[in-house]
Amino acid sequence: NCAVELLDRAVAAGHGARPALTGARAGANAGADTTWTYAQLLDQVDRIAHVLRGPLGLVPGNRVLLRGANTPLLAAAILAVFKAGLVAVPTMPLLRARELAVIAERARVDAVLCAASLCGELDNVPGVPRPVCFGAPEPGQESLEALMACHDAPFAACDTAAIDVCLIAFTSGTTGVPKGTMHFHRDVLAICDCFPRHTLRAGPDDLFIGTPPLAFTFGLGGLLLFPLRVGAAAVLLEKPTPELLLAAIERHRATVCFTAPTFYRQMAALAPRFDLSSLARTVSAGEALPLATRQAWQDATGLRMIDGIGATEMLHIFIAAAGDDIRPGATGKPVPGYRACILDGAGKPVGPGVVGRLAVKGPTGCRYLADERQRDYVVDGWNLTGDAYEMDADGYFIYRSRTDDMIISAGYNIAGPEVEDALLRHPAVAECGVIGRPDAERGQVVEAHVVLQPGHAPSPELACQLQEFVKAQIAPYKYPRSVVFAQSLPRTQTGKLQRFRLREQGGAA
Ligand code: 3UK
C-alpha cells in the first residue's frame, strides 16, 4: 500500500515530529499558515480513511472523486483514499460542471469529497453522489471534519496488491477531451524513486513548494509524494500567483520549486524584489521551456533550470537534466529507470537529427480507461506521448512540438515553440502562442498570438518589427506571416497553452 510506504513507515521510523505539510492560505487569511507534522498528517489520514470505509460505506476498489485547492486536508484525503484501498479520482478545482460530468461518468465515481467552496458546481452535475464537504461547510452540507471528529483510532491499512489501481488521473486537456489514465500502488512509489532521487537528488532537509494542483500528477508528485518519500516537507499554496509564490519561497525558505514555464517567466521579472537565497533547485515542466525563459530565470536567480518532460500517462517526469547534464535547448536524457526513443511514421527508430514521435518505456506506463486509446498509444509497453522530438549525436532529447501541432506551411515543417522562443526574446513580448492557420495557398501559415509587456501598444509597425525580429534569428521562412495581439492567451489550469483554442479563434488582425 503506497500510503503506508510514504507515511506510516516514516512515522514508525521516528520521523513523526518533523514537519510534513504547510498550508499557506490566500486572501483575508494570508499569513495564517498551518503546519502538520508527519504524525499529525497520519492522524488526519487515518480519520478520513475511517470515514470513507465506515460512515460512507465504501469498499476496496470504489472510486472517490476529490476536488479542492491545494491544502493539507486535500493531500490527507488523497492519501486516505490510497490507504483505504480505494481509487482516487482527483479533479482540477477550475473544472466546470460539463467537464466534471464527463469525468464522473467515465470514472464511475462512488463518492465525492469536495472543498466546501467548490461544492456549488457539483449541483449541476447529474448522477454524481452527494458530496461530503471539507473546509468550512455551510449549513445543509455534510461536513467531513464533523465525521472525522468521531474517529481517533489508528486505521489499519487495506492490504492492497502492488498492481491494484489507486489513482485515475485525467489529462489536463490540451486538446479539450480529458483522458482517464489508471495507475497502480507500485507506480506511485516508482515515480518517487526515479526523478526525485536521480535527477533532483532531494533529501530530508528540502522544502518543496510550487503551483501545480494536486489533481495534476506534476503537483501530486512534486508537492506530496516526493517530499514524503524523502522525509522532507512541502508548502501548499491555495491560490498561487507569481508574487504569492515568490513571497512564500522567501517566508518559508523553500529549497525546491515546481512550476510551469509561464510562471517562471513572470517570476523572473519580479525576482529582484525577493530574497530567494534558499532556493537550490527549480523544476520546469508541463510545456516546453523556451531558451529565453531559461535565460531570464538564470539571470534573475543564478539558478540553472531543471527542465523535465512528464505526462499523466507516465505519472511524472521521464526525460530531464540537472546540474552539469543541462544542455540549454534540450530537455535532457531519460531519467534512470526509463528508456526513450524516437520513431518514424511506421514505428521504426530514427537516427540522430531526425524529428519523429517520442516513445517511452519505464516502470509506470498507464492503462487508459478507453480501449481505443490503449491500442493506439501503448505498443509493446512503449507509450507514445504525442510529442515530436529529435535526438542529438550525444543522446540528448530535443523537443520540437506536439505531434499534431507541427505547422506545415508550403511544404516546410515548422515547430511553433521555436518561433515562440524567438518572439519571447523581444522586449515588447510578454507571452505568445504560435499556430498554423489554414491557408488556401500554403496549406497553413504561421500565426503568432502575442501578449505585450506593460507599456507597449499593438500597432502594425510593431507587428512588422516582430516579424523582422524573428527572421533575424531563425530561418526566415518560419516567421509569422500573421500577428494577432491579444490581452491574454487561453491556458489550462496546468499552465499549458491551448493551441486548439487559438486555432478556433478568428484570423489575423
Ligand atoms: C507536454 C512538455 C516539452 C508534452 C506532466 C510533469 O505535463 C504533464 O502531463 P500532461 O499529461 O501533459 C503531457 C504533455 O505535456 N510537456 C510536459 N512537460 C514538457 N513539453 N517540455 C516539457 N518539459 O507535450 C507532454 O506529452 O498534462 C509534467 C510531470 C507530470 C505530468 N503529468
pLDDT digits 0-9 by tens, 264-284:
999 999 999 999 999 999 999
Task: Classify residue 341: in a domain, yes or no.
Answer: no
Instruction: Please write the tens of the pLDDT for every residue from 307-365.
Output: 999 999 999 999 999 999 999 999 999 999 999 999 998 999 999 999 999 999 999 98
User: Helix, strand, or coil here: 390?
Assistant: strand
79 falls within a domain: yes
Domain closes at, from 147, 163, 192: 192
195 close to 317: Cβ distance less than 8 angstroms? yes
Asked if residue 134 belongs to a domain, the reply is yes
Q: Is residue 428 helix, strand or coil?
A: coil
Sign of CA dihedral 331, 334, 338, 339: positive
Q: Say how far apart CA 126 and CA 53 lie, in whole Å.
A: 24
Best mutation site among 91, 170, 264, 287 for ligand 1 pocket (most ligand atoms within 8 Å of CB): 287
**Measured torsion, CA atoms of residues 282, 284, 290, 292, in degrees rounded to the nearest 10:** -20
Contact 216, 172 (CB under 8 A): yes
For residue 508, pLDDT over 50 is answered with: no
| Structural domain that includes position 438 | 407-504
**For position 18, which CATH number holds?**
3.40.50.12780
Q: Yes or no: say if 88 and 166 are a contact pair by the CB < 8 Å rule.
A: yes
User: Average pLDDT of 288-293?
Assistant: 95
The span from the CA of 430 to the CA of 293, in Å, is 11
Q: Report which protein residue has its CA nearest ligand 1's atom 25.
A: 311
- pLDDT for 366 equals 79
Burial class of residue 176 (count of CB atoms within 10 Å of its CB; 0-12, 13-18, 19+): exposed
CA distance 210 to 199: 18
Question: Considering only CA atoms, which residue is closest to atom 2 of ligand 1?
Answer: 287
Contacts of residue 55, Cβ cutoff 8 Å, sequence gap at least 6? 147
Task: Using the structure block, give the residue that is written with the C-alpha cell 486505521.
Answer: 155
This model of the complex carries an ipTM of 0.99
Q: What's the pLDDT at 30?
A: 64
Closest Cα to atom 9 of ligand 1: 311
Cα 477 to ligand 1 centre (Å): 28
**pLDDT confidence of residue 509:** 45
Structural domain ending residue among the three candidates 173, 192, 211 = 192
pLDDT by residue (tens digit) across 431-441? 999 999 999 98
Mean pLDDT, residues 202-208: 97
Asked if the structure places residue 472 within a domain, the reply is: yes
At 28, the pLDDT band (50, 70, 90 cuts) reads low
- Which of 312, 389, 497 gets mutated to test ligand 1 (max ligand atoms within 8 A of its CB)? 312
Question: What spacing in Å lies between the alpha carbon of 248 and ligand 1's midpoint?
Answer: 25
The fraction of the chain above a pLDDT of 70, given in percent, is: 97
Q: Is residue 455 part of a domain?
A: yes
Start-to-end Cα distance in the chain? 56
Expressed in angstroms and rounded, the spacing between residue 458 Cα and the centre of ligand 1 is: 32
Cα atoms found within 13 Å of the Cα of residue 9, Cβ hemisphere only: 10
Atom of ligand 1 nearest to the CA of 172: 27
356 forms bridges with which residues in the sheet? 389
Q: How many domains does the chain have?
A: 2
Integer Cα distance of 450 and 442 in angstroms: 22
Residue 319 included in any domain: no
428 belongs to a structural domain: yes
**At which residue does the C-alpha cell 506530496 appear?**
224
Highest mean pLDDT out of 102-106, 127-131, 157-161: 157-161
59 CB neighbour count, 10 Å cutoff: 12
> pLDDT tens digits, residue range 208-236?
999 999 999 999 999 999 999 999 999 99
Residue 366 maps to a domain: no
- Closest atom of ligand 1 to 417 CA is 3
* CATH number of the domain encompassing residue 441: 3.30.300.30
Domain edge (last residue) among 192, 210, 229: 192
Residue 216 CA: nearest ligand 1 atom is: 32
> Which residues form the pocket of ligand 1, taking CB atoms under 6 Å from any ligand atom?
171-172, 217-218, 285-289, 307-312, 316-317, 331, 385-387, 399, 402, 494
- Mean pLDDT, the chain, integer: 93
Helix-helix angle 38-53:72-83, to 10 degrees: 60
| pLDDT tens figures, 467-503 | 999 999 999 999 999 999 999 999 988 888 999 899 9
CA dist 490 and 502 (Å) reads 7
Find, among 115, 363, 94, 117, the residue nearest to 240 by Cα.
Answer: 94
Q: Which of 177, 222, 213, 199 is nearest to 316 (CA)?
A: 222
What pLDDT, in 10s, does the model give residues 38-95? Answer: 999 999 999 999 999 999 999 999 999 999 999 999 999 999 999 999 999 999 998 8
Q: What is the pLDDT of residue 31?
A: 66
Q: What is the mean pLDDT of residues 289-301?
A: 96
